[in-house]
A = this chain, B = another copy of it.
């Protein structure tokens, strides 16, 4: 380790503070900001993004990166620390390379265009009016393609791989295609079998509300604590679209409430808590450094889906949850439908629908497959934006057999493309694959994990995750972490087996 490396640590610690500031401002934008401040906030965020880019691409950074070394010879640090420093330097170089690939004005233009497009999207979606969004989205796509081309040139990647790599370092289209090809081949039939099996069973009994927001929120907090969320280092709030954000030691998740049905908000909290536990479990010694950050979107989504889908919709957990949820709403044990089996039925109900974020885990990947093909074509220039609504609707029909009635429930439903996130969608489905693999490995390596979850005790699971995923941060790539933890590369096997086990075999703990 030399002084150049130490200087870099100081520069990146400043960037980490800037990231924290951006994190809190992003949270605030969704949760607190008054509507009249939207335009000004967009300018402020673009300025901070620009500042981040400026710091990362300052001439001193290139000089330090050229000089820096973390050769452990003659260094008093233990081998473990030397390895982390080495991984840290590699992460610094990767971030620097991505940043210097883009001129400052492109970064700011992209940020401005994305902010404006996001604002336009809100009303376009409400009015199901794709044409008014088109000019804004065209500008975002134009700039995204410029970003992808420039980044790809610098990294020696195709434009789409360059985008993917920004969300999920090391993941390539060539890793995704075989997994998604298999899903595309098996999913329609599997969905059909699941629906058939479900139809053969007596229908689940809906739970009778109303469920007051105050009690739903209290239940959410109980569950957050149960899973291991540290309430002194985070918050739970309300926003139109649930998310997990915030900053270092300040992890903030949101949900939205429906007084007629508490399940969506509760599952939203459990999902975001999965994300939050990952952020809270990153190693504190590296919290301000690139190597100390979470290892990309696929791993992040695997953590939320592991909690929400794999464990918290399991029969084992439903048995603990049923009486606790009932008590949270102050209902007597004679209340209809509050048995564990019925609750499990409600938690695992499958229903093809138009809206991705409302989809169950069986039909969810279909939504991603559609978006993945479309965004690859958009980036490649093979699909004109004006043709997007039709192509989107065709894709949904092919995989889910549904006719999309309007763009609000079609290509306008997601915020991601309008906010400039291309190459982001596939990570959702990859996360589902990874979550299934993690569950299998965790339960094999520690057979007490599932029984403990069945007692509402997530400590054994969290311990395994801390050691095998969270604590590794970005000290290795996602494929490496996944292989070390599960013994296998990322694939669809565990996911498909899980779906069959839970929805066709209907194993009671699954």
Contact = CB atoms under 8 A, between A and B. Distances in A.
A32 B235 contact: yes
A85 B51 CA distance: 26
Given A20-B44, A48-B17, A34 B233 contact: yes
A268 B33 CA distance: 22
A36 interface: yes
A60 to B, nearest CB: 13
Contacts of A248: 37, 40
A28 B44 CA distance: 16
Contacts of A34: 231-235, 250
A279 to B, nearest CB: 12
A20 B230 CA distance: 29
A40 B24 contact: no
Contacts of A50: 14
Contacts of A232: 34-36
Interface in A1-15: 14
B24 A28 contact: yes
A369 interface: no
Contacts of A32: 32, 235
B17 A47 contact: yes
Given A17-B47, A20-B44, A21-B21, A37 B247 contact: yes
Residue picked from A21, A230, A247, most chain B C-beta under 10 Å: A21
A221 interface: no
A41 B248 CA distance: 9
A399 to B, nearest CB: 42
Contacts of A14: 47, 50-51
Interface string A322-345: 000000000000000000000000
A485 interface: no
Contacts of A247: 37, 40-41, 44
Nearest to A14: B47
A246 B230 CA distance: 28
Interface in A236-250: 247-250
Interface residues of A, number: 33
A25 interface: yes
Interface in A293-341: none
Contacts of A234: 34
Contact of A40 (B18, B44, B48, B249): B249
Contact of A41 (B41, B43, B250): B250
Contact of A24 (B24, B35, B51, B250): B24
A250 to B, nearest CB: 4
A471 to B, nearest CB: 19
Nearest to A47: B17
A233 B44 contact: no
A17 B49 CA distance: 11
Residue picked from A14, A34, A230, A249, most chain B C-beta under 10 Å: A34
Contacts of A235: 32, 34
A112 B444 CA distance: 48
Nearest to A48: B21
A33 B233 CA distance: 8
A230 B36 contact: yes
Contacts of A25: 21, 24-25
Contacts of A17: 43-44, 47-48
A323 B455 CA distance: 57
A122 to B, nearest CB: 15
A248 B42 CA distance: 12
Given A20-B41, A32-B32, A35-B232, 20 more contacts: A17-B44, A17-B48, A18-B47, A18-B48, A18-B51, A21-B25, A25-B25, A28-B28, A32-B235, A34-B232, A34-B234, A34-B235, A34-B250, A36-B249, A37-B247, A37-B249, A37-B250, A39-B249, A40-B248, A41-B247
7 contacts: A20-B40, A21-B25, A21-B44, A34-B231, A34-B234, A40-B249, A40-B250
In the A-B complex, the 3 residue pairs with the smallest Cβ-Cβ separation, listed nearest first, are A37-B250, A17-B47, A36-B232
